[in-house]
Amino acid sequence: MKHLFIINPVAGGKDQRLEIMGAASGALHARGETDYAFYVTRGPMDAVEKIRAAAAEAAGAGTELRVYACGGDGTLNECCNGAAGLPHVAVTQYPCGTGNDFIKQFGADKALFSQIGRLLDGEVRPLDLIFCNGRYSVNICSVGVDARIGTQVHRYSSLPLVGGATGYLVSVVVNLIRGINQRLTIATDGETPCTGDFALACVCNGTWYGGSFNPVPEARPDDGLLDVLLVRGVSRLTFLRLVGEYAKGNYARYPRYIRHVRARTVTIAGEAPFVINLDGEALESNRAEMTVCPGALRFLFPAGLGK
């Protein structure tokens, strides 16, 4: 068994590489494991090539590779993109980021992901992925005002006297001023496309995103389906009235504004380019093609996690 720790040195707002290396080395040596390596990322998607190279080396040696995403949801996304479809590679998260949204779906058990010993003793099970425009997402893809707000936070949080949560608030205000709705054409599972004004389209494999949004609590990342919420165009006042209910997963109370669909494919097209949010990472295009990939990721669950 080979172990590769992918460390994002800026996750969580501070460099935690020494703490991670120390904890991992101690836990590995306690189990007699000596075949491990640490890789500190240098930029976006930097980990993908490293994982694929390590996977090829492991395949040549006839052994398995386990990848530990030491960072937030962006780091986990990179690791999933590097490991997708590889039958001898498993990925897990050692949460060091600000949000760590993907593992929130495991409730109180999410704390087990912070124990390296439990990860080393864990169990591998298949999870679905979303394939969108050449990239994979393990958690949630979205298009619309929420995608713009979430992926633009870094523009404002790095400004003097702003930072963290204030940066998110600034991003909300800026995007509300710019406008909520977009003219989009959306189709699910090859059905007749629907063209109209939409505030957002959220495609869920996991359940949490944006730090505090839990739009479809019943979504599962291993059922071979995507839970899709389509929010029709609304006024700013209606958006502000609904956003709290949307965040709590109360979409079924508002059928006038929100449609819930379970599908395997989602296609979204726009007259102008729009932002696509993939696990907090941004792409830009005038077309998004999303497809569920059942069991495409081997995911390492920590020992003691409920089924």
Q: Average of pLDDT values for 61-78?
A: 97
Q: 58 and 35 in one domain?
A: yes
pLDDT given at position 99: 83
252 alpha carbon, distance to own chain's centre: 24
Question: In total, how many domains does the chain have?
Answer: 2
Lowest mean pLDDT among 53-57, 131-135, 200-204, 279-283: 279-283
Q: 147 and 216 in one domain?
A: yes
What is d(CA 60, CA 265) in angstroms, rounded to the nearest whole number? 35
Q: 167 and 118 in one domain?
A: no
What is d(CA 285, CA 269) in angstroms, rounded to the nearest whole number? 9
- The boundaries of the domain holding residue 241 are 140-292
Q: 272 and 145 in one domain?
A: yes
- Considering only CA atoms, which of 82, 86, 110, 80 is closest in space to residue 207? 110
Q: 159 and 123 in one domain?
A: no
Share above pLDDT 70 across residues of the chain, in percent, rounded to a whole number: 95
Whether 234 and 242 have beta carbons less than 8 Å apart is answered as yes
CATH of the domain at 261: 2.60.200.40
307 domain residue, yes or no: no
68 domain residue, yes or no: yes
Lowest mean pLDDT among 65-69, 148-152, 252-256, 287-291: 148-152
pLDDT given at position 157: 64
pLDDT given at position 192: 94
Q: 280 and 157 in one domain?
A: yes
Q: 125 and 166 in one domain?
A: no
pLDDT given at position 197: 97
49 domain residue, yes or no: yes
135 domain residue, yes or no: no
pLDDT given at position 121: 97
40 domain residue, yes or no: yes
306 domain residue, yes or no: no
Average pLDDT, rounded, for the chain? 94
DSSP 8-state class, residue 178: H
pLDDT given at position 160: 67
Q: Average of pLDDT values for 116-138?
A: 98
Interval 228-265: pLDDT, tens:
999 999 999 999 999 999 999 999 999 999 999 999 99
Q: 207 and 164 in one domain?
A: yes
Dump the DSSP string for 248-286.
Answer: TT-GGG-TTTEEEEEESEEEEEEEEEEEEEETTEEEEEE
165 domain residue, yes or no: yes
187 domain residue, yes or no: yes
pLDDT given at position 155: 73
Q: Which two tokens stand for residue 272?
A: 């102008």
Q: 155 and 121 in one domain?
A: no
pLDDT given at position 233: 96
Q: 283 and 190 in one domain?
A: yes
Res. 168 pLDDT band, cuts 50 70 90: low
On the question of pLDDT at 131 being above 80, the answer is yes
Q: 263 and 213 in one domain?
A: yes
Which residue is associated with the tokens 């990848």?
67
CATH of the domain at 13: 3.40.50.10330
Share above pLDDT 90 across residues of the chain, in percent, rounded to a whole number: 84
Whats the size of the chain, residue-wise? 307
Q: 244 and 156 in one domain?
A: yes
